[in-house]
Amino acid sequence: MRQYDHIKQGLVERGRNEDLAEEIAARTVNKERARTGEAENASRTSTEDISSSRRGGLRSHRGAGGRTRQQLYEEARRKNISGRSKMSKAELERAVAR
């Protein structure tokens, strides 16, 4: 329960709304429980994927980084920008910003 509260509080302090913070905290705790064998049911991705804490640690040293290439690509698709499949992340950022 401490981990859940810690995650939720951190998300709320960073500007997430409380409902979303609760959902993210619950999913994170449930995934960690599945990884350690505490949960009755666990999906394959919960047990085989990189742990939530490791993923957070890896991302924390990169700075904000902005949106992922996939997120930029999806926005470019919604805006019907041609040539998007061959664009790099930087090119997609420029195209979407126009």
Q: Mark whether 11 and 54 lie in a shared domain.
A: yes
For residues 26 and 9, membership in a common domain is answered with yes
Q: Count structural domains, the chain.
A: 2
| CA 18/CA 44 separation, integer angstroms | 29
In this prediction, residue 34 has a pLDDT band, given cuts at 50, 70 and 90, of confident
**Please, what is the Cα angle at 88 between 54 and 92, to 5 degrees?**
100
Residues 6 and 41 in one domain: yes
pLDDT (0 to 100) of residue 45: 66
Mean pLDDT, the chain, integer: 82
Phi, psi of 63 (to 5 degrees): 80, -165
| 15, pLDDT greater than 90 | no
Q: What is the reported pLDDT for 38?
A: 77
Contact at 8 Å (CB) between 87 and 74? no
* Mean pLDDT for the stretch of residues 39-55: 70
Contacts of 77 (CB under 8 A, 6+ apart): 84
Let me know whether 8 and 27 are in one domain. Answer: yes
Q: What is the domain extent for residue 92? A: 66-98
CB 43 within 8 A of CB 34: yes
